[in-house]
Structure 1
Amino acid sequence: MSIAITEAITTIAEAERKFKLSRTEDEAFFLEWQTSLPELSDAERLALDEARRRYLYQRSQGQLLEGTVTLLLASPLLAIAGFYDPPFRVRAEASVQLTLEDEEEVLQGRIDVLVLLNQFWVVVLESKKTALSVWTALPQTLAYLMANPQPEQPSFGMVTNGDEILFVKLVQREQRLYGLSRVFAPFSSSQELRNALQILKQISRAIGEGVE
């Protein structure tokens, strides 16, 4: 039986149960958002400030839908981080399918934005409208990360509603574990958005070293 991921996985508890996932709070598990973050160039800072200014203007007019959040904030972040340039490839609305173990269910969904390096997944991006918390997108983001066709490699996700950004790391080795960053708030501070860009650049570097 085929069912949409958004219908089958609606809570974090469901995602953990269906995929046999456990959250780890071991700081060493998800170092990519915490240590040795790359410095930003003046050009990157200027481009980021411009993207934030545009987002704040549109946000001041009212709530924003998912597509607008992607257009105004998430897409510029990926572009400035270099994910729209070689050697990366980008797919919008990428279809994924996942068969649950021990259950007669096939989960189907569409990733808002998927960044790839060769055949390796680099970042799964999930956007939500500003009226919703980033936590509402975490269950389906975990499902998308579980669909990674290279489970031997770590998977990374970025969840944003524009006002907040959350990063996720998932591994499927001896154990299926995931870890979370803190929530960044670009709406409140330009430094928060700069931190998010640094993390994306760090993830790019980590994945690139892992697939060489």
Structure 2
Amino acid sequence: MGIPRCLVEQRREDVNNLTDYPPVLENVVRMAVVDPILFIGGFFLYPFYIRSEPAINLAVEDQDIVIKGKIDTLVLKNQFWAMVIESKKAEFSTEAGRGQILAYMLSNPHPNRPNYGMISTGGGFIFVKFMNRKPPQYALSKTFITINPGNELYDVLRILKRLTQIALEGID
């Protein structure tokens, strides 16, 4: 099944319209851009399910630091985390969500599997791969921008689907 062009193009128009009326807060980014992309990609259908997680507390070893936060969107299959998604205000850089999403990824209940995530400002998207090793390691993708020629939302959707497949290989 191909990616429905009209739905992806509409998301691009939605982003353009939203940015004309700032501020565009995190919840609006999630509702207007991230959630529709998850819908287009079939992430609300079996075998996946979506959660907005309760707040987490993460204590950092050997330091008196406790990170508190809430995962915006979590795509799961059989209790395994397929994708962690953090939405940020449109006025922020995707970089603003990096520390937060890495903290969430540290709290993954299945730390021996690579963990994938996405940070979105509505107009920009970046993907994160996290491995909970000693010390933890992560890698970032390039930033995908919706106003770039060719509508990079298509790339975002393809990558989102592929990373979710990779994250869930061997999970039944």
TM-score, with normalisation over the residues of structure 1? 0.74
Deviation, 1:95, is 2.5
Tell whether the 8 Å contact from 1:162 to 1:187 is kept in structure 2 after alignment: no
Q: Take 2:59 and 2:135, find their aligned partners in 1: how far apart are those partners? A: 18
Q: Take 2:62 and 2:133, find their aligned partners in 1: how far apart are those partners? A: 19
Q: Take 1:177 and 1:210, find their aligned partners in 2: how far apart are those partners? A: 22
Aligned-residue CA RMSD in angstroms?
1.8
Deviation, 1:110, is 0.5
Pick aligned residue for 1:64 from 24, 47, 55? 24
Which has the higher Rg, Structure 1 or Structure 2? 1
Q: Give the aligned partner of residue 166 of structure 1.
A: 126
Q: Give the aligned partner of residue 2 of structure 2.
A: 41
Name the structure with the higher helix share.
Answer: 1
Deviation, 1:190, is 4.4
Deviation, 1:195, is 0.3
Pick aligned residue for 2:48 from 68, 88, 93? 88
Aligned length: 172
Q: Does 1:103 align with 2:70?
A: no
Deviation, 1:122, is 1.0
Deviation, 1:131, is 1.2
Unpaired segments of 5 or more residues in structure 1? 1-39
Deviation, 1:202, is 0.2
Q: Take 1:83 and 1:194, find their aligned partners in 2: how far apart are those partners? A: 15
Q: Take 1:162 and 1:48, find their aligned partners in 2: how far apart are those partners? A: 13
Question: SS at 1:125's partner residue?
Answer: strand
Deviation, 1:49, is 1.2
TM-score, with normalisation over the residues of structure 2? 0.90
Q: Give the aligned partner of residue 148 of structure 1.
A: 108
Unpaired segments of 5 or more residues in structure 2? none
Q: Take 1:124 and 1:97, find their aligned partners in 2: how far apart are those partners? A: 16
TM-superposition CA deviations, 1:69-112 (whole Å, max 9, x none): 11111111111122111111111243223232123444331011
Q: Take 1:179 and 1:86, find their aligned partners in 2: how far apart are those partners? A: 29
Q: Does 1:118 align with 2:117?
A: no
Question: SS at 2:108's partner residue?
Answer: coil
Identity of aligned residues (%): 35
Q: Take 1:189 and 1:113, find their aligned partners in 2: how far apart are those partners? A: 28
Q: Take 1:183 and 1:91, find their aligned partners in 2: how far apart are those partners? A: 25
Pick aligned residue for 1:193 from 139, 146, 153? 153
